Amino acid sequence: MNAPRLALLGTTLTLSSLVAEPLTYPESKRTDFKETFHGVDVADPYRWLEEIDTPPVNDWVARQAAFANAYLAKLPGRETLEKRLTELWNYEKHGLPYGLAGKLFYTRNTGLQNQSVLYWREDKPGAEEQVLLDPNKLSEDGTVALSGYSISEDGMYMAYGTSKSGSDWQEWRVREVETGKDTDDHLKDIKFSRADWNKEGTGLLYSRYKPSGEDLKAANIDQKVYFHKLGDPQEKDTLIYERPDHPQWTLRGGFSEDGRYIIVSASTGAGSNNGLFYKDTQAKDNSFVDLLEPDDSRYSVIDNDGPLLYIFTDDDAPAGRLIAIDLRKPERDHWVELIPERKDAALQSVSSVGEVFIAKYLKDVLPEVLVYNRLGTKLRDVPMKELGSASGFGGRRSATSTFYSLSSYTNPGRIYRYDLASGESTLFWEPKLLFNPDDFITRQEFFESKDGTRVPLFLVHRKDTKLDGTAPTFLYGYGGFDISLTPRFQISNLVWADQGGVFALANLRGGGEYGQAWHEAGMKEKKQNVFDDFIGAAEWLIEQKITKSEHLAIGGGSNGGLLTAACMNQRPELFGACWSAVGVQDMLRFHKFTIGWAWQDEYGDVDDEADFKNLYGYSPYHNVKKGTAYPPTLVTTADHDDRVFPAHSFKYGAALQDAQGGDAPIILRIDVKAGHGAGKPTAKVIEEVADRWAFLGKAVGLKIE
């Protein structure tokens, strides 16, 4: 049965109706402040907006937020969009189960709960599920979220992390699984860390920083790995590993599954490249050994058989491979290749479950999953049943089965239990949808970028949408940090398509869709390739008569917020509207705040003259041109974003409002008690999406029905 369409509210809305009345923006004081880089004087008139939580900035934020809220609330169709979003969002969601010690652990959301609830049950038919943790009871407004959890080997304890208001900062506690009661263990000052239990279940490894007093702004450096013994106060935790000679290394520690080794991964930036160090707890001299120094490759220990480590790497294999390193003879000429690099697909990850390796590949952004034995001999494929994404395949060495899910742009995903011995997949759970996926079409296309590079593009729309050059189209991209954008379900994008729009996603260089070479083609001095790819996608959509510039909206978040802002600066006439979310907008100062220093591996070092010229050449904040007619633009950020410092968006939004040479609105939406995006309550997400689609839809002529 087809999902109902809401009643028509009005005729097509166009840019002319959006800019009928010139706007008077809240005042943003401009100063004459300048800074000199390599002999170049660079104006920074809104530097003062970096002083967050001071009265002048708090006042400015309050005025901008009130202005934005008043403007967005009056947009035609906004309430209808929020109603439709709420309606479609209200279906049960089930997380991937994780099996351990005869128990299954998973999250579940009844539909509109602000945070998903964590459950456990015995892994047997008819077992009754038990609530292990309900984050909705940790705050009245749903802004405290579960940020991670780890179960002890015997299934008796759970370590769990929580974050407040979307912050990356976490607090970790320990809970008894059977009773649901917390112990007295309480760990703080944690960020970018997991918790990993020792084999005995008596304690765990985690990473923490020294308190700075400026959690939203101060640089995150000098991370250290500690061991916490159950029952001890945090101040008694044992320092396991530190590198004062490399204060910018990000350190993560874990135990090998057999408990023999402590393995520390050291990352030099925000990318995937890292080094490995280990301690053999059975050795007489059990000090740490340098196995692999951080370089331009990534190394992930998948499992071990005694001193034989199985490592997933892109060393000498940009598309990825699996190798074995014997710690008794770790030299490169003794490495053994188990799963070689493929030229036709990128190896995304390898898991060790039971007595097999499960390798997940991307081939033209679509999944292939292969099963290998411990010697690297292929055993079988895991059939993929739709044009989408595969996730899961985790578990322990003792497992006899594992779980995975398949999702797509128009289906939230079914969960399957995979029998490791027989290779059979059995449906474990599927959602009950409030719409008909058969009403939509998903297809993959390819276009040539400016330099001739072949770039993938996905399109999603209703079957009855006319692709005659007038279709309101939303183009999304990211293009950075080795992150692959595979077909995944989001209610927000489905609602855009359900209203008669086209959702388009371009797999830009800078991502990991084709391995490390694809990533490196969009880094540092090659960042313009990413912008060219995105602009090329927009031009292809117009050339194919799917849409026109006046009907084309673009959007992206974080590194994608940088992408859309830079592209709009470079080609303002090409787009009918722009949404830039939590973006990195000041490319000369990104390294000054929180974890921004780690992005220098991706973007470059402003202290290097060549890097400075490149960064200055596309930095969104510095390339806003006075008098330019910019399209309607929505800049969004949050007051507790401690990953991308919110002043990036403050400064860029203020600069755009001052420079606007046309009548199109420049709206700066600032969310409160929210962060970079993770853990945001469902209610806040729906409000934000309704604002976004109402704004962009009005600009590019979306019929809100």
Condensed to tens digits (0 to 9), the pLDDT of residues 137-171 reads: 999 888 898 999 999 999 999 999 999 877 889 99
Return the pLDDT at 673: 57
Q: Does the structure show a pLDDT above 90 at 401?
A: yes
Lowest mean pLDDT among 211-220, 325-334, 420-429: 211-220
Half-sphere exposure of 546 (CA within 13 A, CB side): 23
Q: Concatenated DSSP letters for 168-196?
A: S-EEEEEEETTT--EEEEEEEEE-S---E
Lowest mean pLDDT among 150-154, 218-222, 227-231, 567-571: 218-222
pLDDT above 90 covers a percentage of the chain that reads: 86
Would you say how long the chain is, in residues? 705
Structure tokens at 255: 């135990």
Higher-confidence residue: 638 or 580? Answer: 580
Q: Which of 108, 144, 101 is nearest to 129 (CA)?
A: 108
Q: Concatenated DSSP letters for 547-560?
A: --GGGEEEEEETHH
Return the pLDDT at 640: 65
Which member of 94, 461, 551, 676 is catalytic?
Answer: 676
Return the pLDDT at 213: 65
What is the crossing angle of helices 55-73 and 647-659, to 10°?
60
Query: What's the mean pLDDT in 206-219?
Result: 77
* Class of residue 416 by CB neighbours under 10 A (exposed 0-12, middle 13-18, buried 19+): buried
Half-sphere exposure of 445 (CA within 13 A, CB side): 19
Give the integer Cα–Cα distance in Å for 184 and 565: 47
Which region, left, alpha or beta, applies to residue 271 given φ > 0 means left and ψ of -120 to 50 means alpha?
A: beta
Mean pLDDT of the chain: 93
Q: At residue 123, what is the residue type?
A: D
Cβ(376)–Cβ(362) below 8 Å: no
Phi/psi of residue 454, each to 5°? -85, 120
Q: Which residue has the tokens 């001052």?
A: 658
Q: Which residue has the tokens 């939580």?
A: 53
Phi/psi of residue 321, each to 5°? -155, 170
Cα 93 from chain centroid? 19
| Residues facing residue 437 across a β-bridge | none
Query: What's the mean pLDDT in 459-465?
Result: 97
Q: Does the structure show a pLDDT above 50 at 236?
A: yes
Return the pLDDT at 5: 27
Q: Does the structure show a pLDDT above 90 at 387?
A: no
Query: Tell me: the pLDDT tens digits for 77-108?
Result: 999 999 999 999 999 999 999 999 999 999 99
Lowest mean pLDDT among 323-337, 555-569, 641-655: 641-655
Q: At residue 285, what is the residue type?
A: D
Query: Tell me: the pLDDT tens digits for 307-329?
Result: 999 999 999 999 999 999 999 99
Return the pLDDT at 286: 87
Q: Which residue has the tokens 């740490």?
A: 288
Cβ(632)–Cβ(699) below 8 Å: yes
Q: Does the structure show a pLDDT above 50 at 27?
A: yes
Cβ(49)–Cβ(27) below 8 Å: no
Rg over CA atoms, the chain: 25
Return the pLDDT at 639: 75
Q: Does the structure show a pLDDT above 70 at 567?
A: yes
- The strands making up 473-476's β-sheet, listed across from edge to edge, are 440-448, 454-462, 502-506, 473-476, 552-557, 577-581, 633-638, 666-671
Structure tokens at 130: 């038990």
Give the integer Cα–Cα distance in Å for 314 and 321: 6
* Class of residue 334 by CB neighbours under 10 A (exposed 0-12, middle 13-18, buried 19+): exposed
Query: What's the mean pLDDT in 647-664?
Result: 97
Give the integer Cα–Cα distance in Å for 62 and 493: 30
Q: How confident is the model at residue 678 (pLDDT cuts 50, 70, 90)?
A: low
Give the integer Cα–Cα distance in Å for 586 and 559: 12
Return the pLDDT at 21: 60
Which member of 558, 580, 619, 649 is catalytic?
Answer: 558
Cα 59 from chain centroid? 31
Q: Which residue has the tokens 């290749």?
A: 337
- The strands making up 346-353's β-sheet, listed across from edge to edge, are 346-353, 356-363, 366-372, 378-382
Give the integer Cα–Cα distance in Å for 671 and 652: 16
Give the integer Cα–Cα distance in Å for 585 and 623: 10
Give the integer Cα–Cα distance in Å for 118 and 389: 24
Query: What's the mean pLDDT in 335-339?
Result: 98
Whether 676 is a known active-site residue: answer yes
Give the integer Cα–Cα distance in Å for 81 and 491: 12
- Determine which helix (DSSP H) or strand (DSSP E) holds 324, and give its type and residue range: strand 321-326
Q: Does the structure show a pLDDT above 80 at 215?
A: no
Cβ(238)–Cβ(227) below 8 Å: yes
* Class of residue 213 by CB neighbours under 10 A (exposed 0-12, middle 13-18, buried 19+): exposed
Give the integer Cα–Cα distance in Å for 224 and 253: 9
Q: Does the structure show a pLDDT above 70 at 10?
A: no
Whether 297 is a known active-site residue: answer no
Q: What is the dihedral of CA 518, 448, 567, 689, to 10 degrees?
A: -80
